[in-house]
Amino acid sequence: MNGIRTIGTTLEFYFETVNKRKEYWSKYGDTSLFNCTYENLFDSPPEPASYDWIIVQDTLHHLEPIDKALQIFNNSLRPHGKILSVEENGNNIIQRIKLYKYRGNKRIITIWDEKLQKDILIGNENIRSLDTWRGLFEKGGFNLKEESVQYVRYYLPFSYRFSDPVKLLEQEEEIQKRKGMRREYFFFGLNFIAEKK
């Protein structure tokens, strides 16, 4: 919509709705620069040095083997290319308990993909802490930009119904500025940018 060629790829069920969404947004601008495919990143990696940015929203914790995924990302980025990651905070105590009840220790599983007609290795909500991501990205040839790290969603959603949302967001902003247990273990979201070395 802003004149930037954008390519999306997914293995998610919502792929079937992409064309309808594209049709909707075409009323507001040119959607021809956007394309989305249903494919496995490991079967068809992008061309080397073909992208400036990769955006992975609620995705990294599904990619396995993660080291190979980061290698594919590194190869497909131009020099100083960047990855923008929107993830869950793997240190969040509530999420860890919830996910353990859901999947136990089965953090990596194999699923059958009907569309591709093959088994796919996938992270089973394999969320990680910032320190773990930092180490994985470092090994993958990236620098995690410390100034880009953002912790989000400290308060539970229902809190916004009973309080001033602007004040809650301001409080979240203050809490995330200080190192400590509240920041590390009680924020649900974790955003960061990693740059190709």
Tokens of 56: 């992975």
Query: What's the confidence (pLDDT) of residue 138?
Result: 98
**10-residue stretch averages of pLDDT, the chain, 197 residues long:** 87 88 92 92 94 95 97 97 97 95 95 94 96 98 97 89 90 92 96 97
Domain boundaries, the chain: 39-196
- Planar angle of CA 183, 188, 193, nearest 5 degrees: 80
Query: What's the confidence (pLDDT) of residue 53?
Result: 97
Tokens of 196: 């190709």
Query: What's the confidence (pLDDT) of residue 161?
Result: 86
- What DSSP character marks residue 132? H
Q: How many CA atoms lie within 13 A of 73 on its CB side?
A: 32
Among the listed residues 57, 117, 113, 47, the one whose alpha carbon sits nearest the alpha carbon of residue 84: 57
Helix (H, G, I), strand (E, B) or coil at 188: coil
Q: What is the pLDDT of residues 14-69, one digit of tens each?
A: 888 999 999 999 999 889 999 999 999 999 999 999 999 999 999 999 999 999 99
Helix (H, G, I), strand (E, B) or coil at 138: helix
Q: Domain 39-196 has what CATH class? A: alpha beta
> Strands 34-38 and 6-10: what pairing?
parallel
Query: What's the confidence (pLDDT) of residue 156?
Result: 86
The number of angstroms, rounded, from the C-alpha of 84 to the middle of its chain's C-alpha atoms is: 8
Query: What's the confidence (pLDDT) of residue 160?
Result: 84
Among the listed residues 86, 34, 79, 33, the one whose alpha carbon sits nearest the alpha carbon of residue 56: 86
- Asked if 3 and 29 count as a contact pair (C-beta separation under 8 A), the reply is no
Identify residue 178 by its one-letter amino acid code.
R
Query: What's the confidence (pLDDT) of residue 195?
Result: 98
Helix (H, G, I), strand (E, B) or coil at 129: coil
Q: How many CB atoms lie within 10 A of CB 61?
A: 22
